[in-house]
Amino acid sequence: MVNNQPLGYVTQGSLSQGLEVRLHVEVSVETMRVGKFLVVRGRRSQFFCMLTDVALGSGSARLLAHPPEPENQFLQEVLAGTGTYGTLSLIPMLMFTEQLDSSSPPRPPKDSDRSSPYAALEVQSNAEVELLPVKTIPAHFSQVYEASDRDFRIIFGWEDDPHRRNFAIGRPIDMEVPVCLDLDRFVERSNGIFGKSGTGKSFLTRLLLAGTIQRQAAVNLIFDMHSEYGWEAVQEGKHFSTVKGLRQLFPGQVQIFSLDPEATQRRGVSDSQELFISFDQIEVEDLALVRGELNLSEASLENAIILRNEFGKGWINRLLSLSNEEIQEFCETKMGSKSSIMALQRKLTRLTDLKYLRPTGKTNYLARVLAALDEGKHVVVEFGSQSTMLAYMLATNIIARRIHASYVHKADRFLHTKNPLDRPRQLMITIEEAHRFLDPATARQTIFGTIAREMRKYFVTLLVVDQRPSGIDNEVMSQIGTRITALLNDEKDIDAIFTGVSGGYHLRSVLAKLDSKQQALVLGHAVPMPVVVRTRPYDSTFYRQVGGTDWEAVATEIVFKAAEIARSDLGF
């Protein structure tokens, strides 16, 4: 629990610019950190605020011109609180108003109430408390307090809440109470995890994916570009160590499909399924997405449409087998461009270097992925050594297009029958390097742009992971429901994070002051108000909590039993 003594009092402010608070003399300005959660107790309402700036104030310009000597501690203490003082800038995010009898006049909070505005409330869920958007401000000299554990519990909930599917993502600065996401709200919209390289985006992503699996909030399709989510991943640090992937935490619920089965087996994953794509499953729209990687011109794509219309699904195989004379003859009869078709043929030969592509295939591996998702299995698509941008973007687009078509069909059937058994499982698709798919030039053409804008009504959302949010189309960013952002330095990236966020300019200083590791600003649809958290460690404690198994204890027990058997065999 925090200290119930007030930190300071409101001196001025406005609804649009926030509140200015003067610290009490006994409160050190050095204990105040940007991003801290504070509560202002008004006469009728309590205001839940975020600390956005810390400043020093002085009652006289002459004092600053002639400051006391550093060794004159007595004079410094005399001036503290009167001649010199600390000030805070707060942004109210939510408010709560007690329901009083209409005949009772407003009263200031009693001393016994000051630890929490809910001291008289006995609640089993934060769903029972009505938190309102801020439409007014507290009066002059309203007292400011540190938020208590109970404040956090009421606002952000707790994991064992019987009415909500909550998941603790971390803890607030300088406190040990969990901050929870409402996973039902989280998965119903597309979301983003952002931060510059090395800030722990992959660990945050793995954390959230484990939460959705444990709480059964959605089924997941994860495009694992660097093989970090399926079986295990390397942990950053001075000494080499690994952390467990989703397959190890949830062996019966997660299935790995590998586009490079040999590489996956070399890493010690023995139960993955292979995944191959044939040329006849590649459409012109898939090539349009990777036109930059293949250096395709607009003319080449137009002639690809002519070839597809002529040869059908097998147009790529047919094109690669055409001789120069056959291309010349085709262009004379079908009004194609010989130079463009020959250039297209030459550039598409690069596709034969991708291990997961085959000219033809008897097995429909994409149907297996869809079947696993329909069964409620969480699918990790590993790329292994096929982690170039061309390999990654082409495969993800092809698979996602099939997902789109399948879910549109399922949603239409559900809307027609209204039968709960026909309702599609909520699906969340995780993609890394998201700006490659969602940049302004291609977002309207790619399937991921369509999913971000429209697929919520078809029960499909995205979890985008990126270090360059400024490269994502503004319209798509405005559709991102919950944004979990680690440290960013680039001004354009910081601006992009607050696209479509009311009052986002107040939070810029908070984002810029995050630590480079294990801190994130969480705001949006899945949390009642923005909050800075120390993200939850992804370690053996977490494994036990989400997987329900103490993996280290299991390993120790196996070794112990093996030793007992050996001693028995030796006659001891």
Report the predicted TM-score, pTM, of the whole model to 2 decimal places.
0.83
Residue 120 has pLDDT above 60, yes or no: no
Q: What is the pLDDT of residues 69-98, one digit of tens each?
A: 777 676 666 666 667 788 999 999 999 876
Out of 173-177, 278-282, 333-337, 441-445, least confident range: 441-445
Measure the CA angle with vertex 181, ends 178 and 182; round to 5°: 130
> Which pLDDT score, from 0 to 100, does residue 238 have?
65
Q: What is the pLDDT of residues 481-499, one digit of tens each?
A: 999 999 998 889 998 898 8
Out of 9-18, 149-158, 287-296, 548-557, least confident range: 548-557
Is residue 407 within 8 Å of residue 459, measured between CB atoms?
yes
* Mean pLDDT, rounded, for 513-519: 86
> Which pLDDT score, from 0 to 100, does residue 177 have?
87
CA gap 62, 226 in Å, rounded: 61
> Which pLDDT score, from 0 to 100, does residue 476 have?
87
Out of 210-224, 232-246, 388-402, 485-499, least confident range: 232-246
CA gap 249, 253 in Å, rounded: 9
Is residue 184 within 8 Å of residue 426, measured between CB atoms?
no
- Taking domain 180-276+363-538, whether its CATH number is 3.40.50.970 is answered by no
Q: What angle, rounded to 10 degrees, do the helices at 324-334 and 338-348 form?
A: 130
Is residue 405 within 8 Å of residue 309, measured between CB atoms?
no
* Mean pLDDT, rounded, for 155-169: 86
> Which pLDDT score, from 0 to 100, does residue 75 have?
64
Measure the CA angle with vertex 447, ends 304 and 256; round to 5°: 105
> Which pLDDT score, from 0 to 100, does residue 553 have?
45
**In terms of Cα–Cα distance, which of 264, 520, 291 is closest to 382?**
264
Structure tokens at 553: 């204890």
| Three-class HEC string of 251-292 | CCCEEEEECCHHHHHHCCCCCCEECCEEHHHCCHHHHHHCHH
Out of 122-131, 155-164, 427-436, least confident range: 122-131
Residue 169 has pLDDT above 60, yes or no: yes
Out of 202-216, 399-413, 541-555, least confident range: 541-555
Q: How confident is the model at residue 3 (pLDDT cuts 50, 70, 90)?
A: low
3-class state of residue 386 by DSSP: coil
> Which pLDDT score, from 0 to 100, does residue 428 have?
94
Domain boundaries, the chain: 8-156, 180-276+363-538, 281-353, 539-572
CA dihedral of residues 120, 123, 125, 126 (deg, nearest 10): -10
Most confident of 64-78, 80-94, 459-473, 498-512: 459-473
Is residue 525 within 8 Å of residue 186, measured between CB atoms?
yes
Comparing 380 with 446, which gets the higher pLDDT? 380
> Which pLDDT score, from 0 to 100, does residue 23 have?
92
Task: Give the type of residue at 297.
Answer: S
Structure tokens at 371: 């079947």
What mean pLDDT is reported for the chain?
83
CA gap 226, 387 in Å, rounded: 7
Q: How many residues in total does the chain contain?
A: 572
